[in-house]
Structure 1
C-alpha cells in the first residue's frame, strides 16, 4: 500500500473557472504552438468510470484537475521514430540481448535463470490461434519472437515498408523515454491522457460519445468480430492477420486528437496499480485532485504472469486487438499495466509538451477546418 498524499495537491471543491471550455481544435503549426500538437485546455473532470462496461481498475470515478498542455495529434509514427534512430543511433530494448535481471523482477523468487542462449533480442508478438480458445490464458496467442523489433513488428520476416504513417510499436517504456528526451517532450501522466482522450465529453463511454458506431460508422481500429471473426483466431477463414492502420484513419476527437483509443496502446508516465483509483477516492473524498502523477509503486494481482508488485507502467487506449468479447479497452477510462521493458506488437506512444498556451489571437478552428 502506498500513500498518495505526496503525489498530488487537492482543493476542497471544483470551481467553475477550472472547467474546460467547449472542445475546439487548436493545432500548432510550429509558430503558433508546437508543430502538429493539439492544445489541451485543462480543467476539472471525473476520472475513471462507473459505467457497466468499466472494469474494477477503472473505479470509482473521482474528481481530478489538470492544467493545460500540448499533445501530439497522433501516435509517434514509424517515420518519426526512424528519424530519431538516424539522429542518435539509439538501439531499442527489443534489439538488445535480454538481461536476466530485467526478467527476474517479474517472476516469483527462486525462478531458475534462463540459459544464456535463450537471452536473445526479440519481443512479444501477437500470433493468434487456429481455433477458438479459452480466453483466460493469453499465452495461447502471444509469443516471444526472436528478431521482432520496431522495424519487424511481427518477427524477422515482417517489415514496416509502406507503413511510415503507422504507429511505431515494439517500443518499451524505456524506448519511449529516450525518444521523448530527444524530442524535448515527455510522456503524459495518466490523468492528462484520460482528460485529453475524452475530448471535452463528460463521462462519455467512448472518445466520440456514447454510441459505439454512430450512424453505423466505425470510429476506431479494433478487432471487429463481424469482419475478422472470433478473437483470437487468425486463420484465413476468420479474417487473417491483424495489425495497425495509418494514423488519422478515423475522425479526431473534440481536441483534434486521433486514435486516442484503438490502433495501439500508449505508454503513460505513471506507475500502475490496479487499485489506484480506489486509493485516490479514499484519500481525497469530495476533493479535486490536482495534476496527479500516479502511485509511487506498482501492484497488479490480476497478472498471472508476474508477481503482483513487479514494476509496471500504465498503458492507455487499447489496440487493434481489443474486442467486445475480451478486453473492451477502446474506452477513455480503460487502463492496464505493462512491464516497462516489455516491447509488444500492439504498444506505442504519443507525447506531450509544456509549451506556452496558444495566444488569444489564434483562431479557434472547428473540426472541419484542421483535419
Structure 2
C-alpha cells in the first residue's frame, strides 16, 4: 500500500509504502447504484442523514433547484453550495431525481447511511487495505487501475479518457471531454484486472477505517501487516478513489494510493460507496 511515486499530499499520509496481506473477500464490481439504494429504501423506509438535515452539498455548476433553495457556500470551498432538498433521491437539488440516472452511483450518502445499507444487504464497507488491493486489479504499485499514464491514445491520435475526472480549469470551466460534468454510470469505462469499474474518479467511496495520516508509519514499524482495520481514532472516515471533480491542479487524488476523509455524517454530490463480504 502507499504512493511509490512520492507525488501525494504529505498531509494525507500516503507514505511510506508498506506491505499488507489481506484475506480473501468479495467486492462489488461497481459502486452501489441509485437503483440499488432505492430498493433498500423501499424495503426499509430508511431516511438518510441528508433527508433528516434537509440540506446537502451540491457542486455549483450542477445545482437543480430554485435560487431560494441555495442557502450558501461551504467555508473554504465556494464551489460547494448548501442546497435545501438535496439528498440521495434528489442528488443535485429538489428539481433533480435519481430516477433520471438509476444506473449512476448513489451519492449524498453519509458513512452512517452506507453502513445502514450494508447491514440490510448483509455486506460491509471495505477496509482501506481491501479497497486498495481490489482497486489495483493485480497491478503492483501502479498509479492508476490501468497503469501509470492517465490517458491512452486512440487510433485517430486523440486522447482516450479512462476515468471520469475534471477537464479544463477547476472550478469554473469543465470542457467535459470525458463526456460527464458530474457522475457517469457506475459501469462505464474499462474495468481493472479484477473486473472492477471506476476505482479512479467518478465518486469517492467510503471505507470502514478512521483516517489518521500517520497510520502508515505505524504499519511499517510492524513489518508485513495482516488484514489491517485502520486506527482506533481519526479525524474522519477514509474515502478513496477520487471523483468527477478531481483535477491535478486542485485534487490529484484519483491515483490509487491517494487518501482523503470526511466526517461520518457528511454527504455530498460526489461521494458514494461499494461493499464487500461481511466479516
TM-score range relative to shorter protein: 0.7 to 0.9
- Superposed displacement of residue 127, structure 1: 1.1
The equivalent of 1:51 in structure 2 is 5
- Superposed displacement of residue 159, structure 1: 2.1
Query: Which structure has the larger Rg?
Result: 1
291, 310, 315: which is aligned to 2:239?
A: 315
Pairwise mapping of residues 113-124 of structure 1 onto structure 2 (< 5 A)? 121-124=54-57
208, 218, 224: which is aligned to 1:269?
A: 208
Residue 296 and residue 150 in structure 1: after superposition, are their counterparts in 2 closer, same or farther (change >3 A)?
same
The equivalent of 1:327 in structure 2 is 251
- Superposed displacement of residue 235, structure 1: 8.4
CA distance in 1: counterparts of 2:227 and 2:127, whole angstroms: 8
CA distance in 2: counterparts of 1:238 and 1:270, whole angstroms: 34
Residue 203 and residue 81 in structure 1: after superposition, are their counterparts in 2 closer, same or farther (change >3 A)?
same
CA distance in 2: counterparts of 1:178 and 1:354, whole angstroms: 13
- Superposed displacement of residue 224, structure 1: 1.7
24, 28, 32: which is aligned to 1:68?
A: 24
Please, which moves more after superposition, 189-198 or 206-215? 206-215
CA distance in 2: counterparts of 1:188 and 1:178, whole angstroms: 14
Structure 2 unmatched runs, 5+: 63-74, 154-158
Kindly provide the CA deviation profile for residues 165-203 of structure 1, in whole angstroms up to 9, marking residues without a partner as x. Answer: 000000000100000000000000000000100111010
Residue 122 and residue 163 in structure 1: after superposition, are their counterparts in 2 closer, same or farther (change >3 A)?
same
The equivalent of 1:27 in structure 2 is none
Matched, 1:141 2:74: no
Matched, 1:212 2:155: no
CA distance in 1: counterparts of 2:103 and 2:246, whole angstroms: 21
- Superposed displacement of residue 350, structure 1: 0.3
TM-score w.r.t. structure 2 length? Answer: 0.88
Residue 159 and residue 190 in structure 1: after superposition, are their counterparts in 2 closer, same or farther (change >3 A)?
same
Residue 64 and residue 337 in structure 1: after superposition, are their counterparts in 2 closer, same or farther (change >3 A)?
same
1:62 counterpart SS class: coil
1:71 counterpart SS class: coil
Matched, 1:247 2:186: yes
Pairwise mapping of residues 102-251 of structure 1 onto structure 2 (< 5 A)? 121-127=54-60, 138-215=76-153, 216-225=159-168, 230-234=169-173, 242-251=181-190
- Superposed displacement of residue 161, structure 1: 3.0
Kindly provide the CA deviation profile for residues 54-97 of structure 1, in whole angstroms up to 9, marking residues without a partner as x. Answer: 22221110111101110000000000000000000000000003
TM-score w.r.t. structure 1 length? Answer: 0.67
2:37 counterpart SS class: helix
CA distance in 2: counterparts of 1:224 and 1:274, whole angstroms: 29
Structure 1 unmatched runs, 5+: 1-46, 98-120, 130-136, 300-311, 356-371
1:73 counterpart SS class: coil
* 1:322–1:329 contact (8 Å) kept in structure 2: yes
CA distance in 1: counterparts of 2:180 and 2:206, whole angstroms: 24
Residue 163 and residue 238 in structure 1: after superposition, are their counterparts in 2 closer, same or farther (change >3 A)?
closer
2:116 counterpart SS class: helix
CA distance in 2: counterparts of 1:82 and 1:92, whole angstroms: 11
CA distance in 1: counterparts of 2:162 and 2:38, whole angstroms: 28
36, 45, 52: which is aligned to 1:89?
A: 45
How many pairs does the alignment contain? 260
CA distance in 1: counterparts of 2:176 and 2:138, whole angstroms: 41
